[in-house]
């Protein structure tokens, strides 16, 4: 293959994981059902590589549902089905030959409640690497992941202590270290700060800014200020009454500053100005 100036530049600015893709994930949801219930409709979002994309909107509008679609976590729910397309670096992750477990290797997840495993700090971080039969220098990998998660300095002298012995904010950073140890490309975060105090929240938000140098991040947040602080782009979802219940849909997606300062849709205007009931 001929190496052009353009491809050399792409190599210099992107890791092999994102291969120079500007859009990491193309999410096109036409209809998403749990059984007979239409939970989400018409939501198309292009998630930019190495950007933070925030999902906001009222409770029940489908933010977590759409997030869980991105790494096939909804597959674990029997009644789930959707029509549309979910591409990761141009590849259909719902294609019949794709293993959902492999998808989650590239697209990791951090949950609302910090959920360290009942094992040592070290073993928590090494968990995924061992599962993947990693044969290299485990100590180095563990240190690297904990450093990236901003936790190394606080735990380096007590790596054999239980992960559950840490504070809530430290536990969440441990979960982030565990998620990034296997070097995914995308990190999905479902309200990662909702169980944390303001100081721990700030630490996680600062960490997200550092992590986006290397990772594509999608965060669900019920906190509009948090979306304004961390997200490069924001997707605003709303809900409407439908036959089977309340159906969520994407209202507007764009640069965060535009969504909050110059929304194009009336529903967005109402929501960001606090008029939504």
- The C-alpha torsion from 148 through 153 and 158 to 164, rounded to 10°, is -60
Burial class from Cβ neighbours inside 10 Å (0-12, 13-18, 19+) for residue 142 reads buried
Q: How do 245-255 and 233-242 pair as beta strands?
A: antiparallel
DSSP secondary structure letter of residue 76: G
DSSP secondary structure letter of residue 165: G
For ligand ADP, the closer of residues 145 and 230 by Cβ is 230
* Token couple for 251: 């209202």
- For position 97 contacting ligand ADP by CB under 6 A, the verdict is no
Q: How do 216-220 and 80-88 pair as beta strands?
A: unpaired
How many residues belong to the site for ligand ADP (CB under 6 A)? 13
Which residue from 108, 61, 8, 90 is spatially nearest to 242, judged by alpha carbons? 61
In the complex, least distance from residue 276 CB atom to ligand ADP, rounded to whole angstroms? 13
For ligand ADP, the closer of residues 63 and 148 by Cβ is 63
- For position 34 contacting ligand ADP by CB under 6 A, the verdict is yes
Which residues on neighbouring strands pair with residue 252, listed in sequence order? Answer: 236
For ligand ADP, the closer of residues 28 and 246 by Cβ is 246
Name which of residues 46 to 75 contact ligand ADP (CB under 6 A).
Answer: 57, 59-65
Residue 145 to residue 59: CA distance in whole angstroms = 33
- For position 221 contacting ligand ADP by CB under 6 A, the verdict is no
H or E stretch covering 86:
strand 80-88
Of 28, 144, 202, 246, the one binding ligand ADP (CB under 6 A) is 246
In the complex, least distance from residue 137 CB atom to ligand ADP, rounded to whole angstroms? 39
In the complex, least distance from residue 191 CB atom to ligand ADP, rounded to whole angstroms? 8
For ligand ADP, the closer of residues 65 and 120 by Cβ is 65
Q: How do 216-220 and 186-190 pair as beta strands?
A: parallel
In the complex, least distance from residue 274 CB atom to ligand ADP, rounded to whole angstroms? 18
In the complex, least distance from residue 64 CB atom to ligand ADP, rounded to whole angstroms? 3
Strand order of the β-sheet with 52-56 is: 91-92, 80-88, 23-34, 37-48, 245-255, 233-242, 52-56, 216-220, 186-190, 107-110
For ligand ADP, the closer of residues 7 and 113 by Cβ is 113
In the complex, least distance from residue 67 CB atom to ligand ADP, rounded to whole angstroms? 8
- For position 269 contacting ligand ADP by CB under 6 A, the verdict is no
- For position 112 contacting ligand ADP by CB under 6 A, the verdict is no
3-state secondary structure of 148: helix
Of 248, 252, 260, 267, the one binding ligand ADP (CB under 6 A) is 248
Of 24, 38, 39, 179, the one binding ligand ADP (CB under 6 A) is 39
Let me know: does 66 contact 31? Beta carbons within 8 Å.
Answer: no
Binding interface with ligand ADP (CB under 6 A): 34, 39, 57, 59-65, 77, 246, 248
């Amino acid at each position: 293959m001929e190496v052009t100036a353009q491809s050399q530049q792409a190599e210099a600015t992107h890791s092999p994981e994102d291969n120079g893709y500007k859009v990491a994930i193309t999410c096109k949801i036409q209809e998403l059902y749990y059984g007979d219930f239409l939970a989400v409709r018409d939501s198309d979002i292009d998630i930019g590589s190495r950007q933070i994309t925030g999902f906001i909107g009222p409770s029940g509008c489908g933010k977590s549902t759409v997030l869980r679609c991105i790494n096939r976590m909804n597959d674990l729910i029997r009644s789930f089905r959707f029509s549309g397309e979910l591409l990761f670096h141009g590849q259909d992750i719902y294609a019949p030959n794709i293993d959902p477990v492999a998808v989650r290797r590239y697209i990791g997840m951090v949950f609302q409640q910090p959920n360290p495993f009942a094992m040592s700090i070290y073993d928590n971080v090494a968990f995924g690497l061992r599962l993947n039969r990693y044969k290299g220098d485990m100590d180095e990998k563990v240190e690297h992941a904990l450093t990236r998660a901003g936790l190394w300095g606080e735990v380096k002298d007590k790596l054999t202590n239980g992960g559950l012995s840490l504070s809530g904010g430290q536990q969440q950073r441990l979960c982030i270290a565990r998620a990034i140890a296997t070097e995914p490309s995308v990190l999905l975060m479902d309200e990662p700060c909702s169980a944390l105090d303001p100081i721990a929240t700030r630490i996680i938000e600062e960490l997200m800014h550092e992590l986006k140098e290397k990772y594509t991040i999608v965060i669900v947040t019920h906190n509009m200020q948090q979306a304004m602080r961390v997200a490069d782009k924001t997707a605003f979802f709303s809900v409407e009454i439908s036959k089977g219940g309340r159906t969520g849909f994407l209202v507007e997606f764009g640069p965060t500053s535009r969504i909050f300062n110059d929304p194009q849709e009336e529903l967005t205007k109402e929501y960001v100005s606090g008029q939504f009931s």
